[in-house]
C-alpha cells in the first residue's frame, strides 16, 4: 500500500490523516475547495491537548484525478456525504484499491460493498474527541484510537498491512473480528449522547448526573439493541445500557459531534443515527418511541438551518420571527388556499395562499398596521396596510405541483388581484416585515398604500 488517499480533513479524517502524513510522504487528501485552499496555503495542523501539536503539508486536491491513484482510500467524511464521495472516487479506483471507512452508522460498509464489491471494503471505528477549529486546523482533546476489521471477520493480509501502516504512524489500532458488532455498540452510544447533548445544550455530564436520565438512556439503548438484532442479527449484551454509561464517564466533559454541528449550523447525522433506528424499527416491526422522539426533536431544531427548501423570513413588529417554506405554506388551512388565479395568471395551474393565513399565525405587536414584502435581492419592496394585505394579498408558491419557477417570479411571488392601480406584485419574495407605519416601498409614489 504505497499511495494513500484520505477523503476529508475533518475532526476524524484530519486527525488520523495528519498523523499518517507525518510519517508517510505518499498520503494525499481529497478536500472541498475551502478546506483545500486552507491546507494548500498553511498545511494541516493538529493542536493536541494531550499529545504533540504539529503541521503537515500533504498533497491536496478537490478532484481525485489530480492526485496519485490510491492503493488505500480512507473515508473520514460524514455519513450523509457518502453518495457524493462514491461518485468522486469511482473513476480513480484500481482493481485492488482498498476502502477503509471510519464513519458513523452501521450500513456504510454494506452501501460501499454494493457499489464497489465486498473484496474492497474494510470497516473501522474511530474513538476520538476532536473538533474543527477552522479549515485545516483540528483541535484534539481526548483519545485517538482505531478499531478495524473485515466485514466477514477474517484476519487477512490486507488487514495486517493496514494495521502495520497505522501503528507505524503512532496511531493506536486494534483488530476486531466482529467489526459489525463494534459499530452497533458505538451506535448505542451515539444514539444516546449525540441528541441528548443537543437537547440539553450541554456536555455529556448533564445527562449522566441526573438519576432521571438513567431509564431514558436504558430505553434508547434497548431500542437500538432490538433493531440491531432485527436488521443484522447482531445480539448485543443485556448490559449494554450500563456499558454505554460506563464508556460515557470518561467523556463526561465533552460536547458531541452532533452538538458541534448543530451549534455551527451544519447538517447533523440524525438521519444516520436515531433516524436510522426509527426507519428500521418501522420496517421490522420494532417499537422505537424514544428514538422516534429524539429524531423529531433534532429535526425540529435543525431543519431551518439545513433545509434545502427556499424560505420566506417573517420579522418586524411581531412577537416571534418566523419562516415559511413551500411545505409549510401548503399546510396552512385549506380555506385560505387558492388553486386558480385567472385574473393574474390565466391558464396556469398554480397554487397560492391568502396572506390572511399568515396573519392568523403571527402574533403582532400592539400598533402594527403595515406589512412590507421585499424581494430576495432587496431591490424591490411593496408596503401595504394590514387591511390591504389581508383582503388582497396572495403568495403564489407552486406551479404544476412543483416550486413556483424563478423565471415567473418564484419561488414565492406576491400578487394582489383586485387592488387595481395599487397592485403590489412582488417577484421572488424573500422577506415579510411587519411595522408600525409605512416603511420601504420601491413602487412609484402614486402606488403608495398611504394614499388609499
- Decide which of 243, 273, 306 is a domain's last residue: 306
- Decide which of 125, 160, 177 is a domain's last residue: 177
**Rounded mean pLDDT of 229-249?**
96
Residues 148 and 190 both lie in one domain: no
Q: What is the pTM of this model?
A: 0.74
Residues 269 and 414 both lie in one domain: no
For residue 451, pLDDT over 60 is answered with no
**Rounded mean pLDDT of 376-395?**
94
Residues 437 and 319 both lie in one domain: yes
Q: What is the pLDDT of residue 307?
A: 53
Question: How does DSSP assign 133-192, residue by residue?
Answer: EETTEEEEEEEEEEEEE-TT----HHHHHHHHHHHHTT--EEE-TTHHHHHHHHHHHHHH
- Decide which of 162, 177, 192 is a domain's last residue: 177
CB-based burial label for 451 (10 Å; 0-12, 13-18, 19+): exposed
Cβ atoms within 10 Å of 440's Cβ, excluding its own: 15
CATH of the domain at 444: 3.90.420.10
CATH of the domain at 34: 3.40.50.720
pLDDT band at 448 (very low <50, low <70, confident <90, very high): low
Quote the domain boundaries for residue 397.
Answer: 311-451
Mean of all residue pLDDT scores within the chain: 93
Residues 153 and 91 both lie in one domain: yes
Residues 228 and 295 both lie in one domain: yes
Residues 13 and 155 both lie in one domain: yes
Domain count, the chain: 3
Q: Which residue has the higher pLDDT, 341 or 13?
A: 13
Residues 319 and 300 both lie in one domain: no
CATH of the domain at 197: 1.10.1040.10
Residues 20 and 146 both lie in one domain: yes
Q: What is the pLDDT of residue 332?
A: 94
Residues 92 and 233 both lie in one domain: no
pLDDT in tens, 25-80: 999 999 999 999 999 999 999 999 999 999 999 999 999 999 999 999 999 999 98
Cα–Cα distance for residue pair 89/70, rounded to 1 Å: 10
Residues 238 and 283 both lie in one domain: yes
Residues 354 and 407 both lie in one domain: yes
Residues 245 and 130 both lie in one domain: no
Q: Which has the minimum average pLDDT: 12-21, 166-175, 308-317, 428-437?
A: 308-317
Give the residue from 113, 102, 141, 98 showing the smallest Cα distance to 12. 102
Amino acid at each position: 500500500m504505497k499511495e494513500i488517499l484520505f477523503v476529508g480533513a475533518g475532526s476524524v479524517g484530519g486527525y488520523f490523516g495528519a498523523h499518517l502524513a507525518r510519517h508517510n510522504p505518499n498520503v494525499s487528501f481529497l478536500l472541498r475547495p475551502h478546506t483545500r485552499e486552507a491546507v494548500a496555503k498553511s498545511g494541516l495542523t493538529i493542536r493536541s491537548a494531550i499529545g504533540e501539536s504539529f503541521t503537515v503539508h500533504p498533497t491536496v486536491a478537490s478532484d481525485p484525478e489530480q492526485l496519485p491513484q490510491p492503493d488505500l482510500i480512507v473515508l473520514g467524511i460524514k455519513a450523509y456525504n457518502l453518495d457524493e464521495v462514491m461518485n468522486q472516487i469511482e473513476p480513480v479506483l484500481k482493481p485492488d484499491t482498498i476502502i477503509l471507512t471510519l464513519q458513523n452508522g452501521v450500513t456504510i460498509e454494506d452501501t460501499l460493498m454494493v457499489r464497489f464489491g465486498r473484496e474492497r471494503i474494510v470497516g473501522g471505528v474511530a474513538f476520538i474527541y476532536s473538533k474543527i477549529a477552522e479549515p485545516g486546523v483540528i483541535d484534539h482533546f481526548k483519545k485517538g484510537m482505531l478499531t478495524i476489521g473485515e466485514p466477514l471477520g477474517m484476519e487477512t493480509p490486507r488487514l495486517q498491512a493496514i494495521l502495520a501502516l497505522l501503528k507505524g504512524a503512532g496511531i493506536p489500532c486494534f483488530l476486531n473480528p466482529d467489526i459489525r458488532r463494534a459499530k452497533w455498540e458505538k451506535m448505542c452510544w451515539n444514539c444516546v449522547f449525540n441528541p441528548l447533548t443537543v437537547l440539553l445544550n450541554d456536555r455529556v455530564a448533564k445527562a449522566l448526573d441526573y438519576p432521571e436520565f438513567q431509564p431514558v438512556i436504558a430505553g434508547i439503548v434497548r431500542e437500538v439493541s432490538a433493531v440491531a438484532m432485527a436488521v443484522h442479527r447482531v445480539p448485543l449484551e443485556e448490559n449494554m445500557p450500563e456499558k454505554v454509561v460506563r464508556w460515557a464517564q470518561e467523556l463526561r466533559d465533552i460536547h458531541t459531534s452532533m452538538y458541534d454541528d448543530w451549534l455551527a449550523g451544519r447538517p447533523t447525522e440524525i438521519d444516520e443515527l436515531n433516524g436510522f433506528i426509527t426507519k428500521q424499527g418501522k420496517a421490522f416491526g420494532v417499537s422505537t418511541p424514544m428514538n422516534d422522539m429524539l429524531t423529531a426533536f433534532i429535526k425540529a431544531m435543525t431543519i431551518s438551518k439545513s433545509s434545502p427548501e427556499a424560505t420566506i423570513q417573517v420579522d418586524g413588529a411581531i412577537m416571534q420571527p418566523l419562516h415559511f417554506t413551500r411545505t409549510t405554506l401548503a399546510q396552512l388551512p385549506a380555506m385560505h388556499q387558492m388553486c386558480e388565479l385567472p385574473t393574474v395568471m390565466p391558464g396556469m395551474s398554480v397554487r397560492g395562499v391568502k396572506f390572511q393565513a399568515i396573519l392568523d399565525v403571527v402574533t403582532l405587536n400592539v400598533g402594527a398596521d403595515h406589512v412590507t414584502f421585499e424581494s430576495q435581492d432587496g431591490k424591490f419592496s411593496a408596503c401595504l396596510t394590514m387591511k390591504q394585505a389581508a383582503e388582497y394579498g396572495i403568495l403564489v408558491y407552486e406551479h404544476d405541483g412543483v416550486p413556483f419557477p424563478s423565471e415567473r417570479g418564484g419561488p414565492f411571488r406576491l400578487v394582489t388581484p383586485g387592488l387595481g392601480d395599487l397592485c403590489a406584485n412582488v417577484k421572488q419574495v424573500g422577506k415579510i416585515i411587519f411595522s408600525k407605519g409605512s416603511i420601504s416601498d420601491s413602487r412609484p409614489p402614486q402606488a403608495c398604500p398611504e394614499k388609499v
